[in-house]
Amino acid sequence: MLSCHALHHEYLSGGRRLTVLKDITFALDAGGFLAIVGPSGSGKTTLLGLLAGLDRPTSGRVVLDGVDLAGLGEDARARLRRERVGFVFQSFQLIPTLTARENVQVPLELAGADDAAVRADALLARVGLGEREHHYPAQLSGGEQQRVAVARAFSTRPRILFADEPTGNLDAANGATIIELMTALNTEFNTTLVLVTHDPELAALSHRIIRLADGAIVSDSAA
């Protein structure tokens, strides 16, 4: 489902080149659940962006669901993400002027689904928000907003889902709810799951943990 080989990434900062990632190589089978962990500044979020095709590496290659991202232009990469990839962010990233239902409907409508409203309602019920579908993000708690974000991410049944610190802005109870939802939906839909987290409890639920330090893989083991 996902592989990367010899990924290297640099930024130009103050006239100097700053190496963020170096020689990252691994592969992940379909349906797998990978947690990427490490201290702040170790390159976790940068790696996630490269794997999802949101950025291009300085060198190396990423193959996502059989497609070499290096061979795609920006429009083709965006189309690939729309058709096969889901995202959950730490800051929820809901559209504030849309209701919970409408937020979940957006990727379905972009995909041309005729039953977007019905499927959105079913997913909101699945994440425990069946009675909150007409509420706007500002009317929802942080935990409820993240549940909407999880429902939206899984709405098109993506082949792979990337999550960046999905419990980072939540208290322990709401974080536990999001963890349960993501792991259950990972199993239910056979969606490959790749997440960046500082949460050891969330990482422990994965099938595999890759630990980064100073931009390099320092361990790769079963959870």
Distance separating alpha carbons of residues 152 and 100, to the nearest angstrom: 9
Nearest to 177, CA basis, from 149, 158, 139: 149
- On average, the pLDDT of the chain sits at 88
The mean pLDDT of 101-118, rounded to a whole number, is: 87
- pLDDT at 96 (0 to 100): 93
Least confident range of 2-6, 55-59, 78-82, 170-174: 170-174
Residue 100 has pLDDT above 90, yes or no: yes
Tell me the backbone φ, ψ of residue 16, rounded to 5 degrees.
Answer: -115, 150
Q: Give the largest Cα separation in the chain, rounded.
A: 54
Q: Helices in the chain by DSSP H: which ranges?
A: 44-51, 74-84, 100-110, 116-126, 142-154, 172-189, 200-204
pLDDT band at 62 (very low <50, low <70, confident <90, very high): very high
Helices 116-126 and 142-154, axial angle in degrees (round to 10): 130
Nearest to 18, CA basis, from 36, 1, 43: 43
The mean pLDDT of 84-106, rounded to a whole number, is: 89
- pLDDT at 99 (0 to 100): 94
For the stretch 15-57, pLDDT in tens is 788 899 999 999 999 989 999 999 888 999 999 999 998 889 9
For the stretch 149-200, pLDDT in tens is 888 888 888 889 998 888 777 777 777 777 787 788 778 878 899 999 887 8
Quick one: tokens of 103?
A: 């937020």
Q: How far is CA 188 from its chain centroid?
A: 17
- pLDDT at 178 (0 to 100): 78
pLDDT band at 101 (very low <50, low <70, confident <90, very high): very high
Q: Walk me through the domains of the chain, giving residue ranges and CATH numbers.
A: 31-51+78-208+218-222 (3.40.50.300)
Distance separating alpha carbons of residues 223 and 208, to the nearest angstrom: 5
Least confident range of 11-15, 31-35, 141-145: 11-15
